[in-house]
Amino acid sequence: MRKVVALGVLGLLVLGVLPGCSSTGIAIREKLGTPKREQLVDRVEETREAQEDAKTQFASTLEELQSLTNFDGGELESAYKRLDSQLGRARDRAERVKDKIQAVDRVANALFNEWEDELDQYETESLRNASARQLDETRQRFGDVLYAMRKAEGKMGPVLAAFSDQVLFLKHNLNARAIASLDSTLGELEDEIAVLIRDMEASIAEANAFIDEMGGER
Report pLDDT for 74.
Answer: 60
How big is the CA angle at 203 (ends 200 and 204), to the nearest 5 degrees? 85
CA 48 to chain centre: 7
Tell me how far the alpha carbon of residue 153 is from its chain's centroid: 7
In whole angstroms, how far apart are CA 41 and each of 6, 104, 206? 33, 9, 13
Query: Which residue stretches of the chain have pLDDT < 70?
Result: 1-22, 71-74, 216-218
pLDDT for 56: 96
pLDDT for res 17: 45
Residue 169 CA to residue 181 CA, distance in Å, equals: 9
In 3D, which of 103, 109, 111 has the Cα closest to residue 46? 103
pLDDT in tens, 57-74: 999 999 988 887 776 656
Res 179: pLDDT: 73
**CA-to-CA distance for 160 and 87, rounded, in angstroms?**
8
- What pLDDT is recorded for position 216? 59
> Looking at residue 8, what is its pLDDT?
46
For residue 103, count CB atoms less than 10 angstroms from its CB and return exposed for 0-12, middle for 13-18, buried for 19 or more.
buried
